[in-house]
Amino acid sequence: MRNIFLRGLAVIYLIAFASLLPQLSGLIGGHGILPAGEYLQSLRADYGRTAYTLFPTLAWLNSSDAFLFGMVWAGIVLSVLLFLRILPLPATIGLFVLYLSIDTVGQTFYSFQWDALLLEVGFAAILLAPLGWRPSYSEPVPKIALWVFRILIFRLMFESGLVKLLSGDPPWRDLTALKYHYETQPLPTPIAWYAEKLPLLFQKLSVIGVFVIELLVPLFFFATRRFRAIAALLTIALQLLIAFTGNYTFFNLLTILLCFFLFDVKTAERTPIPVWIVSVGLIVLGVFQLISMAGILPELPQPIAWIDFHAQTFHVMSGYGLFAVMTTSRPEIIIQGSDDGQQWKAYEFKYKPGDLNRPLPWVAPYQPRLDWQMWFAALSNYRQNPWFSQLIVRLLEGRPEVLRLLANNPFPNKPPRFIRAAIYSYHFTDWSTGRRTGATWSRYYDGEYLPQVSF
């Protein structure tokens, strides 16, 4: 089990770090949308010396693009070392520190639950990483550490179901959530177009299945071996179905990896004292976090609250629960540029919907973080998304680092004089339209998102 987990985690870390290579300059580089250096300067001005502990990152030492890329490449190297069983303990510690450092300066582009989950899993993985130059991964797992991971996968699944109930969201309550989900999720896969057209009865039964797997099945994570195995297989099946219909980066892979702790695992009775202390602390924090989220304990006792605050600051502990409120429509932002204010050309993104005829993409486990944030931005307005204004500034400047994040640059010779953004409502085409035209989407104009701006 230790072998499967540590090598699997190494692969996921590798994916997470490598996927930032083509995006880092445009997102948080010196000429990117949200420069890491400017962000750290503002934190230092607002918080003084406490900023170093409230926002932990190695980028406090140096926030240049070269240093940021150095952290990414170091993460890639350590991922390979962990996979090859070379210095696994230092590699695991280093991977956690590096990913936490990037997560902190990543700002809104690193605000996703799978980033938090990778950090929580990555920290807990230190408990399983053996000492030595090339130690064996075949040693039994400490029993107390095994419970850390079983409680983590329980919290992840159970909280995902719990938030849907606690939100009081009508589509979850009347079992119609999946009627909308395939079309309105951030980055649908080609299969999502077909899944959206399944009969309403099937969609409602599917929602019941989601609640069963997220709320009832996790209770069997603590049952006998046979029931644990069945529960693990059902959880894995749900993750595969999610992955087939939506691009959710490495989230499904990481969840499936955690499920392996539910199968029969050879454990060691004797546990080193430091591992035992840290494991118990993580278990206690996890239990308190769950009951607090459930409303059983609205306010944590002060000592626990203090520890929990710092644990969440370092992403050692996090809460989970995607799609607590189901989006029932799909607004899309279309950014347009012009040289004269009369003729407008659209900027196309690499993966998010734009061109009605472009096929739906397979992009996971890679995450195009700007495309994802555009989905969130469309659900509100540009004033609530300050980074969007920064994106527009970079396009008016013609910054190549940012333009490389897009599928096309309609102004290759010089930046446009004017930029505006419109909001459109997108819908999957029906069977007949799809067959006749080959189009994936239909759309209608919904209004202005950002008025015409210029320098």
Mean pLDDT by 10 residues, the chain (455 residues): 93 97 97 97 95 96 97 98 96 98 96 95 95 90 92 96 93 96 97 96 97 97 95 97 97 97 86 88 90 78 82 90 92 96 95 95 96 96 95 97 96 95 97 92 96 92
Residues paired with 142 in a beta bridge: 268
Residues 106 and 161 occupy one common structural domain: no
The reported pLDDT for the residue numbered 2 is 87
Residues 152 and 243 occupy one common structural domain: yes
Please list, residue by residue across 147-185, b when 16 or more beta carbons sit within 10 angstroms of its beta carbon and e when fewer do.
Answer: bbbbbbbbbbbbbbbbbbeeeebebbeebbbbbbbbbbb
Residues 124 and 146 occupy one common structural domain: no
How many structural domains are present in the chain? 3
Nearest to 157 by CA among 228, 219, 112, 206: 219
Task: Report helix angle 143-166 to 273-293, nearest 10.
Answer: 10
The reported pLDDT for the residue numbered 156 is 96
pTM attached to this predicted model? 0.95
Residues 146 and 56 occupy one common structural domain: no
Q: Which of 296, 324, 352 is the last residue of a domain?
A: 324
Residues 40 and 123 occupy one common structural domain: yes
Residues 200 and 186 occupy one common structural domain: yes
Nearest to 27 by CA among 369, 382, 386, 332: 369
The reported pLDDT for the residue numbered 291 is 87
Residues 107 and 158 occupy one common structural domain: no
The reported pLDDT for the residue numbered 195 is 97
Calpha distance 353→207 (Å, rounded) = 26
Residues 289 and 337 occupy one common structural domain: no
Residues 178 and 288 occupy one common structural domain: yes
- Give the tokens for residue 371: 């495309």
Residue written as token pair 């989006």: 327
Q: Which of 324, 347, 364 is the last residue of a domain?
A: 324
Q: What are phi and psi of 428, to 5 degrees?
A: -60, 145
Residues 212 and 292 occupy one common structural domain: yes
Residues 50 and 156 occupy one common structural domain: no
The reported pLDDT for the residue numbered 321 is 87
The reported pLDDT for the residue numbered 23 is 97
CA 210 to chain centre: 20
Q: Which helix (H) or strand (E) holds 405?
A: none
Residues 131 and 145 occupy one common structural domain: no
The reported pLDDT for the residue numbered 157 is 96
Q: Which of 83, 110, 135 is the last residue of a domain?
A: 135
∠ at Cα 325 (428, 181), nearest 5°?
25
The reported pLDDT for the residue numbered 139 is 86
The reported pLDDT for the residue numbered 236 is 98
Query: Which structural domain, as residue segments, surrounds residue 433?
Result: 331-453
